[in-house]
Amino acid sequence: MILTAANIVSAINQLPKNRLYNYVNPRNRGLIKICHIQLPEGPIYIKRFNPSAGETLEGAAEEPISTQMIWRVANALKENQPINLDRILGASYNTRSVLEALLAHTPQFYYCYPGRIESINATTAVKRGHKHLVWLPHNPHEPGVLTETETNIVISEIPTIEVYYDSLVLPETIETPEIDIEIKRRHAQIQVALFMIGRQLNFRTWVAQNDKGIIYQNKRLGEMEGIISSLKDERLITAFDEAIKAASFIDVIWFKNGRLMPAVIEIEHTTGITSGLTRMKNLYDALPPFPTRYVIVAPDADRAKVVEEANKPMFRPLNARFCPYSAVEELYALCQRRKIRGVTEEFLDCFMEPVVA
């Protein structure tokens, strides 16, 4: 199961608005009031005050829990996997404990204290851990009540995985004035990450013709080892002129051993999801039936739009998949840190969610 910001906002929206809510931490004597909620993805507007410090509800300022914060939490949540919101959000968002408290009052969320593995030199011990939130959708508790759950899960905290991109220079062919330069750069970064992942998995990669001029690691992308210079050299599609034409401006296509095409990928950061699906459908129609993955790569927050568009009758034959930016960067970081090899194509399926019902 996958949670979205809309799921979180909907759950909190079902809590009564005519009462006050406690924080999960019993030492925090503050109270929380839900003022109003903007559906489907927030913001959630709240007031918070501490009666023991002489504060009142009437004197409290109204504050938002932002959509961006809600999405960051949604992306981190997995069923039966405790998360520490302070760790997920770092020092960002001063309403993080408020969101934690409101979630913990909804039926599918509990708080818990998983064990923490502490390693010092050669000695390992399991200590009582910090407060965590855990999503248990199949075991709901009474709504509006903070509920602790026991867990045998222990956590070994490792540094957050970070992804590093070398500097890149965009070619004039994609420096269109109507699109913000940082958005174009983000699109190019994800495109480069997909190329580097493909190279690690021994794929040869086609990148869109107009993107070959991107300069990365002081070299044009089109000149890098593993980049296909001409689709006419690929045996899989060389006999299909319409397929070559359709594929020319697809962001990324992976080829393997001259016989396989593991994935056809469109990155949708700046344009509508429909344009990417249309380009892939044109390629699909120009080829004989052939096993591959048609994948939309987009920001995590765009999942709902991808699901909606991919299920339209004209695109259903693609059986499209959704690969969020977070999954691309997780796989890219794994390639950077561990130089993975010897895995099968099915390994990719762990990062690509089928979205066609």
Name the E strands within the chain.
20-22, 31-37, 44-49, 63-65, 109-112, 115-120, 123-127, 132-135, 154-155, 168-169, 204-207, 215-216, 219-220, 252-256, 260-267, 294-298, 321-324, 353-354
Burial (Cβ within 10 Å: 0-12, 13-18, ≥19) of residue 86: middle
**Are 294 and 349 members of one domain?**
yes
Residue 58 counted as domain residue = yes
**Are 150 and 172 members of one domain?**
no
Last residue of a domain, one of 155, 178, 193: 155
**Are 87 and 236 members of one domain?**
no
**Are 343 and 204 members of one domain?**
yes
Whether residue 82 is preceded by a cis peptide bond, meaning omega within 30 degrees of 0, is no
**Are 76 and 127 members of one domain?**
yes
DSSP state of 57: T
Residue 233 counted as domain residue = yes
Rg (alpha carbons) of the chain, rounded to whole number: 24
Q: Residue 177: its pLDDT value, please?
A: 47
The three-state DSSP-derived secondary structure of 121-147 is CCEEEEECCCCEEEECCCCCCCCCCCC
Least confident of 77-81, 89-93, 301-305, 344-348: 89-93
Angstrom distance (rounded) from CA 76 to CA 324 = 13
Contact 303, 322 (CB under 8 A): yes
pLDDT over 50 at 163, yes or no: yes
Q: Of 122-126, 159-163, 180-184, 331-335, which has the strongest mean pLDDT?
A: 331-335
**Are 174 and 71 members of one domain?**
no
**Are 227 and 148 members of one domain?**
no
Residue 160 counted as domain residue = no
Domain containing residue 118: 5-155
**Over the stretch 243-283, which tens digit does the pLDDT of each residue have?**
999 999 999 999 998 889 999 999 987 567 899 999 999 99
**Residue 129, number of CB atoms within 10 A of its CB:** 20
Last residue of a domain, one of 99, 131, 155: 155
Residue 183 counted as domain residue = yes
Using left for φ > 0, alpha for ψ between -120 and 50, and beta otherwise, residue 121 falls in left
Residue 25 counted as domain residue = yes
Angstrom distance (rounded) from CA 132 to CA 277 = 39
Angstrom distance (rounded) from CA 302 to CA 186 = 15
Contact 108, 142 (CB under 8 A): no
Q: How many domains would you assign to the chain?
A: 2
**Over the stretch 118-142, which tens digit does the pLDDT of each residue have?**
766 556 676 777 899 999 999 999 9
Residue 161 counted as domain residue = no
* CB-based contacts of 162, cutoff 8 Å, min separation 6: 333
Whether residue 26 is preceded by a cis peptide bond, meaning omega within 30 degrees of 0, is no
